[in-house]
Chains A and B, each alone.
Chain A
Amino acid sequence: MRIVHTDAITKAIKEMCIEANLYLTEDVKNRLKKASHMESSDLGKKILGQLEENLEIAQKDLIPICQDTGMAVVFISIGQEVHLEGNYLEDAINDGIRQGYEEGYLRKSVVSDPLLRENTKDNTPGIIHYSIIPGENVEITVAPKGFGSENMSRVVMLKPSDGEEGIKKAVLETIKLAGPNACPPMVIGIGIGGTFEKCALLAKKALTRNLEESSKEEHIKRLEQELLEEINQTGIGPGGLGGKTTALGVNIETYPTHIAGLPLAINVCCHVNRHVKRIL
């Protein structure tokens, strides 16, 4: 058994909230650079260049990449050999978010009640997904999610007979509806299978996977590639102002499902696809 103090979790989450909002991961940066070389629209090329410049300014002057510093989504996997000491874990996580958003000069974008809409002024609560894993580690991923793109995401309960073709149709329809609203170039996380809520969670998780790592399932890897090509043929382009760079990547996660169903979730993200992972 290993003892982990919740103060270490609070500190890690604080730092990860700040880091995620200032620095993108290498895979996204590489895709952006590659797209900038490949883009045929002059305006599209110009916008991609501005997005790259934006990343440099964010890093140099410590200004968040995007003013929507998101709602903090936290995936925390706790080894079953770990014993947690200190605060109640949920409070420890929210303390980390609170400190990170305050000390990192990040925007407080959370309202306490979806209808009454009063800002909580510290960006809590976060969205926390717990899981238990074998071993002695605590694995944390912090993925602040902006809502320009979150608002364009969808869950569709397809029929088994809709198959791959139905999935493609629903994804492309979602991307076209999103268009310029979701700040293209986008990153698309897709969940297929499970239940209504499981596929949405898979889609969110898919966004945290390295874009250079395709699915290990051959048929899913092919679907990721084909969808990316088809999305980039829509003509939406950077900023929605035309071009062939509509998405930088498509990641798909799957799970077993029911004989009667084919749940599909499409989680749209902009190029500011933020996620930081740490193992304690």
Chain B
Amino acid sequence: MDKHITTPIDTSKVIALKAGDYVYLTGRIYTARDAAHKRMFEALQQKEELPFDIINQVIYYLGPTPARDGQVIGSAGPTTSSRMDKYTPSLLNLGLKGMIGKGKRNDDVIDSMKKNKAVYFAAIGGAGALLSKCIKSSKVIAYEDLGTEAIRELWVENLPVIVVIDSEGNNFYESQMNFTS
């Protein structure tokens, strides 16, 4: 089912999303991938604040290519989510509601998603040029020294994503494979 959703997303929006929904996201989201997750995780261990208010926010696992003159951002597709699994439950416990990436998640993440009512979206891997067209603004807000891995605040319009794991733990990857094979 096609749905249009604006971010940030609270629990009521999250629980309405079901595995397999094709969603167009509009609004503010944040980028963070391996190195930024590690740094956020370490900040939490040191009892420090995260660089942005994470409640009801969506994180896009993305490290873009540099923008050419006149472009908002370079190529901007998802990276593999499982590398963030180690750090994700801590962020979900703090109020993170959505993640955009690609590929499988581990049981700890799925359990935490069910407990905290969060949703995991997949964007199309390898379609970075196409997806960059949905990003209308981009600003580095933290960890600039990490280059492509810095945290960026993006404004997206109709970013196409698919609900792969919903807040009840239903997994679209698994159901589709069982259905088609």
Would you call A181 and B80 a contact (CB within 8 A)? Answer: yes
CB-CB under 8 A from A67, the residues of chain B are: 62-65, 74-77, 79, 128
- When the two chains form the complex, which single residue of A58, A107, A117, A241 contacts B35, counting CB atoms closer than 8 Å? A117
Is B162 part of the binding interface, using a Cβ–Cβ cutoff of 8 Å? yes
CB-CB under 8 A from B178, the residues of chain A are: 235
CB-CB under 8 A from A237, the residues of chain B are: 176-177, 180
A119→B149 CA distance, assembly (Å) = 10
Interface residues of A (CB under 8 A from B): 41, 43, 47, 50-51, 53-55, 57-58, 61-69, 105-109, 117, 119, 121, 148, 151, 179-183, 233-237, 239-244, 270-272
Is B71 part of the binding interface, using a Cβ–Cβ cutoff of 8 Å? yes
Is B16 part of the binding interface, using a Cβ–Cβ cutoff of 8 Å? no
Is B148 part of the binding interface, using a Cβ–Cβ cutoff of 8 Å? yes
Closest residue of A by beta carbon distance from B126: A183
A241→B75 CA distance, assembly (Å) = 22
Is B68 part of the binding interface, using a Cβ–Cβ cutoff of 8 Å? yes
Interface residues of B (CB under 8 A from A): 22, 35, 62-68, 71, 74-77, 79-80, 82, 102-104, 122, 124-130, 132-133, 146-149, 160, 162, 164, 172-173, 176-181
Would you call A41 and B124 a contact (CB within 8 A)? Answer: no
CB-CB under 8 A from A51, the residues of chain B are: 124, 126-127
Q: How many A-B residue pairs have CB under 8 A?
A: 155
Would you call B128 and A63 a contact (CB within 8 A)? Answer: yes
A271→B133 CA distance, assembly (Å) = 20
CB-CB under 8 A from B75, the residues of chain A are: 58, 63-67, 69, 107
CB-CB under 8 A from A47, the residues of chain B are: 124
Would you call B128 and A239 a contact (CB within 8 A)? Answer: no
Q: Name the distance in Å between A63's Cβ and chain B's nearest Cβ.
A: 4
* Contact flag A148-B79 (CB < 8 Å), given A64-B129, A244-B180: yes
CB-CB under 8 A from B68, the residues of chain A are: 62-63, 105
* Contact flag A239-B122 (CB < 8 Å), given A67-B74, A107-B66, A107-B74: yes
A272→B77 CA distance, assembly (Å) = 12
Q: Name the distance in Å between B174's Cβ and chain A's nearest Cβ.
A: 10
Pick from B62, B103, B126, B148 the residue with the most CB of A within 10 Å. B126
A179→B164 CA distance, assembly (Å) = 13
